[in-house]
Chain A
Amino acid sequence: MSMAIASLGGRLPMQAGRRELALIAVWTALLTVPLWLPLLGGYTALAGRVLVFGLAAMGLNMLLGFTGVLSFGHAAYFGLGAYGAGLTLRYLVHSTPLAMLAGTLLGGLAGTLFGLLIVRRRGVYFAMCTIAFGQLWYYLAYSWNSFTGGFDGLRDFQREAINLGPFTLHIEDGGTVFYFFLLAIFAVAVAVMGVVLRSPFGRTLLAIRENERRARFLGIPVERHIWLSFSISCFFTALAGTLYALLNNFADPLTLHYSLSGYFVVMTVIGGMRTFWGPLLGAAVFVVLQDYISSMTVNWMSFVGATFMLVVLFFPRGLLGTLRRRVQV
C-alpha cells in the first residue's frame, strides 16, 4: 500500500513524472472532447454525462477508496442535489449559481447529519444503513406529488444564462459552451478534492483505511474523520447531482434510487477503487456501455448485471488498478 500512498502524494521523482503525464493526458482528453467526440459518432451530452457521473463517483471514491468505508446510498445525495437545484429554479429564483448552491447544500447537509448517526457502524452494517436511509428520499420524492412531480419527475425548470458583469455565459443552449461550463466546475471540484486528499487530513484517512486500530492508538479521532470524509464526499456527489439537473433540465426519482448508488460503486470499481482518476474512467466506460447496450437489446439489464458480476469475479482491481500493478511489476 505504500505504493498507493506514494503515487497519491507523488514524492518519488519517477512517480511524479508519471503522475504529471497522466494529468496531461486526462485534461487534454477532456478539453478536446468537442473536437474528437463527433468523429466517433458520439454527442457532447454524452461527455457531459460522463463528467457528471464521474464527479459523483469520484466523490464516493473519497469515502470508498481513500477511507475504506462503503456507502451504497450515495444516489440519495446526488438526487437531493438534483432536486435541490430543480426546485430552486422552479419555485424560488431563476439563477443557475444559486440553484447549484442550494442543491449542494441540501445534499451535503443531509449527508452530514445522517453521517452522525452511523459513523460507529462498519462494513456491511454501515452499507445497509446507507441503503435504507437513501430510499427514504426516493419514497419522499415519489409520493410528494404536488411538490416534486412524483413518479414523472420534476419538470418545468430551465438552466439560466449566467451573467458575469461584462459578458454573459449562454449555457442555456447546451452544446460546447455548456460542456465547458461543466468541465470548469468539474475541474474546480476535482482540484479541491485533490488538495483535501493530499492534506494531512487526507493522509489520516489513508491511515484509517489501512489500519483503523493502529490509527486509534495513535490518538486519531477515527469516528470524526470518517464522519468528515462521509460529509465531504456527500457534498461532492450533491454538486454532481445539481449539474445533472442542469444537464437534463429534469430531475426524476430514479436519481435517488439505490440502483444509481450501485452504479456509482460499479463505476468506481471498474475504473479502480484506490486510484484518483479511476472513477472518471469507470464512468466513461459505464455510460458508453449502457448507451450502446440499451440501443442494441431490450435485455440490457442482463448484460449490465452480468458485467458487474464479471468485474467482481475476474477484474476486482479495475482498469487503473490493474495498469498500475503492471507498471510497478
Chain B
Amino acid sequence: MTQLILFNVTNGLIIGAFYVLMALGLSLILNLSNVINFAHGNFLALGGYLAFTLSPTLGYWGALLVSPFLTALIGLAVERLMIRRIYNRDPVYSLLLTFGLAFVMQDAARYIWGPNGLPMGLPAVLAQPITSDLFFITYYRIFMVTVVIVAVVGLFAFLRYTRVGLRIRAGTFDLETVSTLGVNVRHLRTFNFALGCLLAGLSGVLAAGQIGLNPNMGDELLMPSFIAIIVGGVGSLIGTLFGGLLIGMAAALTTVVYPSASEAVIYAILMAVLLIRPRGLVGEEGMLS
C-alpha cells in the first residue's frame, strides 16, 4: 500500500510538473497578449519531434538544449507573421487563429514524422531505476522533475530580476502605460510569446522521453493546463504554478482510491473554485475582464 501511494505521488509530481511547465507558457502569453494559445500543445509536440530528429547528430544532451530554443524561434516567426495582427481585435479572432494553427501544426507533424508513435531514445544512465524496491523511480523521472524545477526557478528569477522580465510583469497589469513609458511593446510581446513556446518545447523534449512521440501528444495536456490557470487565478504565474501542482497531485491521489474518477476530480476542483473563489486561488479580481 505504501508503495502504491508512493508510486502515485511520484506520478502526480511528474504530471503536475508537466502541467506547470505547459500552463506557465500559456499563462505568460495570456497575461501579456490576451491570447489563448490553442496551438500550445502542438509547440510541445514540435519540441519533442525536433529533439527526436536532432539527437542522432547532437546526442541526447545537445538535442535537449537546442530543440526548445528552435521551438521558440518558430514561435517567434508565428507571432510576427500572424498572431500580432489580431492583438487589437475581438478575442474571438485570436482563439480561431490559434485553433486553426493547431490543426495545421498537428497535420504537419503527422505529415513529416508519420502518424504512428515514435520512441525517444534515452542515455543509458537515465533509463535505469534507482533501486529495485522503488522500480518505478527511474533516474529519468528524477532528472525530469529537476529540470522542471530549474526551469521554473529560472523563469521566476528572470521575471523578477531582469529589465525585460520587469516589463513583462508590468505589462500584465497595464500594457498601455508600459508603452507610454517608451517600451517597445511589439517586441516585448514577440519575445514573451517565444518565451512561452520555449517552455512548451522544453516540456515536449521531457515528455518525449517519458511517453514517446505522437502528433497529438500535447492535446491531453492542454485542457488540464487551462484548468490549472483558472484554478490558480488568471493573471498570476504563482497561481498557475500552484494550480498545476494541485490538479496533478489530486488526479494522481484519486487514482489510488478510485482510478476512473481521476479525470473527474480535476473538473470538480474547477467547479469548486469557480463557485467559492471565482478569481482563483491567488488571482486578482478583474484581470482580463
Which residues from chain A sit less than 8 Å from chain B, CB to CB?
A: 64, 70, 72, 117-118, 120-125, 127-129, 131-133, 135-136, 139-140, 143, 258, 262, 265-266, 269, 273, 299, 301-302, 304-309, 311-313, 316
Shortest distance in angstroms between A107's beta carbon and chain B's nearest beta carbon? 17
Contact A312 B107 (CB under 8 A): no
Tell me if B's interface is mostly helix, strand, loop or mixed.
Answer: helix
For B227, list chain A residues within 8 Å (CB): 132
9 contacts between A and B (CB under 8 A): A122-B289, A124-B36, A125-B287, A129-B274, A269-B92, A299-B107, A302-B107, A304-B103, A305-B104
**A312 and B108 contact, CB distance less than 8 A:** no
Is B226 positioned at the interface, with any CB of A under 8 Å from its CB? yes
Which one of A132, A258, A269, A306 contacts B230 once the chains associate, using CB atoms below 8 Å? Answer: A132
The answer to whether B108 and A265 have CB atoms under 8 Å apart is no
Asked whether B263 lies within 8 Å of A139 as measured between CB atoms, the reply is yes
| Structural contact, B278 and A124, CB atoms closer than 8 A | no
Give chain A nearest CB distance to B196 CB in angstroms.
15
- CB atoms of B97 and A301 under 8 A apart: no
The answer on a CB contact under 8 Å between B97 and A313 is yes
Q: Which residues of A contact B230 (CB under 8 A)?
A: 128-129, 132
- Find the A residue at minimum CB distance from B92: A70
- Size of B's binding interface in residues, CB under 8 A: 44
- Give the distance in Å from the alpha carbon of A88 to the alpha carbon of B119 in the complex: 45
Q: Which residues of B contact A306 (CB under 8 A)?
A: 100, 104
CA distance A105 to B260 in the complex (A): 28
Q: Which residue of A lies closest to B260 (CB)?
A: A143
Chain A residues in 8 Å Cβ range of B275: 117
Chain A residues with CB under 8 A of B86: 312-313
Closest to A310 in B: B100
A-B CB proximity, top 6 nearest: A305-B103, A308-B100, A301-B107, A305-B104, A122-B289, A309-B100
Q: With contacts A301-B107, A302-B107 known, is A139 near B264, CB below 8 A?
A: yes
Query: Chain A nearest CB: distance from B169 CB in Å?
Result: 19
Contact among B101, B102, B226 for A132, CB-based, below 8 A: B226
- Contact between A120 and B100 (Cβ–Cβ < 8 Å)? no
* Inter-chain pairs besides A122-B289, A123-B288, A128-B229, 8 sampled, C-beta below 8 Å: A128-B230, A132-B227, A132-B230, A133-B271, A140-B264, A262-B95, A306-B100, A311-B96
- A301–B110 Cα distance when bound, in Å, is 10
Inter-chain CA distance A312–B264, complex, in Å, is: 34
Residues of A within 8 A of B271 (CB): 117, 133
B99, CB-defined interface residue at 8 Å: yes
Chain B nearest CB, measured from A48 CB (Å): 25
A262–B288 Cα distance when bound, in Å, is: 21
Q: Do the beta carbons of B267 and A124 come within 8 Å of each other? A: no
Given contact pairs A125-B287, A301-B103, A302-B104, A117 touches B278 in the complex (Cβ within 8 A): yes
